[in-house]
Structure 1
Amino acid sequence: MNRSRIEGLFDQRSSAARAVVLVGVLVGDLLLVHRPSGGRDWGLAAAGILLCAAAGRWAFGALVALSGLLVVAHTLGSDIVPALKVLAAVTLFELSVREYGRRPVAGAAVLALAVAVNRLADLPGELPSVLYKTGIVAGLPLLMGGYVRVTRDAARAARAHAEQEEARAGQRLLAARAAERTTIARELHDLVAHHVSSMVLRVGVARHVVPDTVDARVIEVLDDLHSSGSEALADLRRLVAVLRDPDSVAAAGTASALVTPGALPAALESVLEGSRRAGLAVTAAVDPVLARLDAVRGLAVLRLVQEGLANAAKHAGPGARAELTVRVADDAAVHLTLQDDGAGRPGVSAPGPSGHGLIGMRERVDLFGGRLDAGPTPRGWRLTAELPALRVPSALPALPALPAPPAPPASVRVREQTP
């Protein structure tokens, strides 16, 4: 039995249940152990039981009445005086558990006075015995009830304090995350977005000042650079807005990071066209069912294809070919395969510095509980990913921190896109 259930036994809401249990025990004692000798004793016992049962609602009044009933029973020479003392002590315990202040002390004084009145004939010779019995009948229930009450209230205060500390810790964490997002957003805006904007502006100027005699392919490259830079700048602005205030951006409907239903095939085709313009010969087989994919996994598929094709265009070498296959299985899982023939070709330039492309792809796939494999093959480089169908739990667990992947051996060429 845990602590909360034990505390619940002495809660005020359980007073009626406690009274019923105690009354049942005392009735069993009167029927099986200390049977009253006559109708008068049965009447006194019934009155005591009713008063004890009423303690669940009127503890102080029931205690005063039981103290008076105890004096009456002793005066009449009843045999159930010990049972009435137990009932009075239980009622005093109930009063001490439930209330602070003077009422429990006053109730204990009334009960002690009743016990002393019943022993007046033994005074002063039996004074130590009378004081001891008075302390047992009236003092012990008062102390026990007070101890239970203080312990219960201390446990409640400790739980409330722990909840407050947890709430404060959550607020501090949210504040720290907000400050971190603000710092990242500021750096993105002041550094990255500034330079991208400057490059887009310069490419636009170059496009307009080049003479008409320049090769048309140069014009096409400049147009492509201007278009890609403008899209990157728009994405950066959306990202900065999301980092600064995610709630307001989402409420305004401007956080268009997700791919809308049905737009994924067109978005993939746009990425493929960009890779072809960069010199990578790409063939693709895209499952038409992909148009009905949910927006969350659709964005993941789009980002995986973007990163994979960017790595292939960067590392596979000139004239390389790539094959992309994206299909949706019967269990709604998405399977993506990207194979290029550049890794085993002679004359391929050495790879550039390692970035964070593969790490980001692994993290993105791990969010879905999927699997990603990437590495060299006899034909070149192969990337495979599997995104299982979404399972939405009732409470989303915290995602574990992903360990950094081990450094690849020098003999294996790392395929990364620098940030």
Structure 2
Amino acid sequence: MRWMERAFDNRSAPARLAVVVALGLGELGLLHPPGDGTDWALALAGFAICLAGYLVPPAAVAAPAAPVALAALLVLGDRVGADAAITLKAMTVIMLFELALRVHGRRAPAVLGTVAALVAVLVGVHAVGIAADVPPTLFKSGVLIGLPMLLGAYIRLARENAAQARAHAAEQEGRRRSQTLAARAAERTAIARELHDLVAHHVSSMVLRVGVARHVLPSADPRVAEVLDDLHASGASALADLRRLVAVLRDPDLVQGEPGVSLVERAGLLDALDATLDRGRRAGVAVAADIDAGVAGLDAVRRLTVLRIVQEGLANVAKHAGPGTSAALTVRVAGQAVRLEIVDDGAPPAEPGRPGHGLAGMTERVELLGGTLDAGPVAGHAGGRGGWRLLAELPASPD
């Protein structure tokens, strides 16, 4: 379709004009040489009209005049006994095609209809004047007029539809890109909130321990007591600042999304995963889980990432595959890597090449930890059905 648009757009009009002139000169010089000066005069007048038709902008009032003028030359040639009819007919056909190709908008039907009627009258006069069998000749004349105009209109509409499709696709792509960026920004905000929760948790623990040390060492060296007091005051101030920052990040006007676990304790991860599995089963998904207990030994950020991926993955299974789907969850900690896989036997999404915003956020989260996340359809497996597979791999530690 692109080649058609390039070949028949307004910028290629000079090239089309050159082809018309070359073909016309070849026809006059080789196939039907003019017999006298009158034939040459009519042919050159036809070339001049074609040139004007190509040079006049499509929106100009004079643009439709070229095919009508060529048809009038055809009738004039009959009156003076010239023999340039074939050349003039070819020029008329070409200019009808060009007119239908270039005129667009609300005025196109009226312009094309008027031109077709005028050319039909003139060509009909010419046909009746040279043919004894009038009906077939008029039919041929109708085809001579209608076919190039229909072809030109078809190519013009195809070009316009292609341009609209590209504009719509660009708009959709821009909207998807904006939504993906928004999802990533939301995920970054959630990660920042959770990381600050972790820091606040540890700073709070440090402040508590410093306070305990200050009380259990009442007779310590005054310099030690001064240092402990300073540590306690600095820690308390930092903790207050962190809590204010976390409060801003949790502002529902700034951060959209349902509240979740912001800090997963080691002993609570397996329970949180069990609760996620139960929610999936209540949604109608038969979930079989194989979870390595070693996942509870990960640091808090990675524990939380594992939980979020499982939540998002099973939510997608319930949403896209629906009740009655079987899913297998596998979480393994092997060496310095965590591998998480969710495979279901439901129908893949209608557009697997376009991941949802939840997956985009999970991908962002995993990549920030130095890992990878892939999601896509899988070939038929148990029972011969296809399905969907989510695979995440990330380092087991920051090192």
**TM-score computed with the length of structure 1 as normaliser:** 0.52
Counterpart of 1:49 in 2: which secondary structure?
Answer: helix
How far apart, in 2, do the equivalents of 1:74 and 1:401 lie?
Answer: 83
Q: 1:81 to 1:172 in 2, by over 3 A?
A: same
Query: 2:125 maps to which residue?
Result: 117
CA contact (8 A) 2:39 2:82 kept: yes
Query: 1:304 maps to which residue?
Result: none
1:76 paired to 2:80: yes
1:402 paired to 2:369: no
Which stretch shows the higher mean deviation, 177-186 or 86-95?
177-186
Question: Shift in Å at residue 52 of structure 1?
Answer: 0.8
How far apart, in 2, do the equivalents of 1:24 and 1:401 lie?
Answer: 64
How far apart, in 1, do the equivalents of 2:237 and 2:27 lie?
Answer: 87
Counterpart of 2:51 in 1: which secondary structure?
Answer: helix
Counterpart of 1:55 in 2: which secondary structure?
Answer: helix
Letter in 1 for 2:41: G
Structure 1 vs Structure 2 CA RMSD: 4.4
How far apart, in 2, do the equivalents of 1:238 and 1:82 lie?
Answer: 88
Q: 1:215 to 1:4 in 2, by over 3 A?
A: farther
Structure 1 residues 19-418: aligned runs within 5 Å: 19-56=17-54, 57=56, 58-99=62-103, 100-121=108-129, 126-189=133-196, 191-206=197-212, 208-211=214-217, 213-214=219-220, 353-355=297-299, 402=372, 416=397
1:223-246 deviations in whole A, cap 9, x for unaligned? 9987997899699789979989xx
Letter in 2 for 1:17: A
CA contact (8 A) 1:112 1:137 kept: no
Structure with higher RCO (Cα < 8 A, 6+ apart)? 2
Counterpart of 1:108 in 2: which secondary structure?
Answer: helix
Counterpart of 2:372 in 1: which secondary structure?
Answer: coil
CA contact (8 A) 2:64 2:99 kept: yes
Letter in 2 for 1:120: V
How far apart, in 1, do the equivalents of 2:247 and 2:37 lie?
Answer: 87
Q: 1:169 to 1:98 in 2, by over 3 A?
A: same
Q: 1:61 to 1:406 in 2, by over 3 A?
A: closer
Q: Which runs of 5+ in 1 are unaligned?
A: 245-351, 359-373, 376-397, 408-413
| Percent pairwise identity | 41
Q: Which runs of 5+ in 2 are unaligned?
A: 57-61, 251-295, 303-334, 337-363, 374-391
How far apart, in 2, do the equivalents of 1:357 and 1:192 lie?
Answer: 8
CA contact (8 A) 2:5 2:159 kept: yes
Which stretch shows the higher mean deviation, 125-134 or 215-224?
215-224
Runs (4+) of structure 1 moved beyond 4 Å? 212-244, 354-358, 398-401, 403-407
How far apart, in 2, do the equivalents of 1:417 and 1:120 lie?
Answer: 92
Letter in 1 for 2:67: L
How far apart, in 2, do the equivalents of 1:357 and 1:241 lie?
Answer: 19
Q: 1:74 to 1:154 in 2, by over 3 A?
A: same
Q: 1:37 to 1:188 in 2, by over 3 A?
A: same
How far apart, in 2, do the equivalents of 1:356 and 1:39 lie?
Answer: 97
Q: 1:119 to 1:197 in 2, by over 3 A?
A: same
Q: 1:177 to 1:88 in 2, by over 3 A?
A: same
Query: 2:10 maps to which residue?
Result: 12
Question: Shift in Å at residue 146 of structure 1?
Answer: 0.9
Q: Which has the larger radius of gyration?
A: 1
How far apart, in 1, do the equivalents of 2:223 and 2:186 lie?
Answer: 46
Question: Shift in Å at residue 200 of structure 1?
Answer: 4.1
Letter in 1 for 2:123: V
1:192-219 deviations in whole A, cap 9, x for unaligned? 2442342243245345445364499998
How far apart, in 1, do the equivalents of 2:232 and 2:371 lie?
Answer: 38
How far apart, in 2, do the equivalents of 1:234 and 1:30 lie?
Answer: 94
1:44-87 deviations in whole A, cap 9, x for unaligned? 11110111111112531212211111111122221111110100
How far apart, in 2, do the equivalents of 1:150 and 1:64 lie?
Answer: 23
In proportion to residue count, which structure has more helix? 2
1:60-117 deviations in whole A, cap 9, x for unaligned? 1212211111111122221111110100110010000111221122222222111111
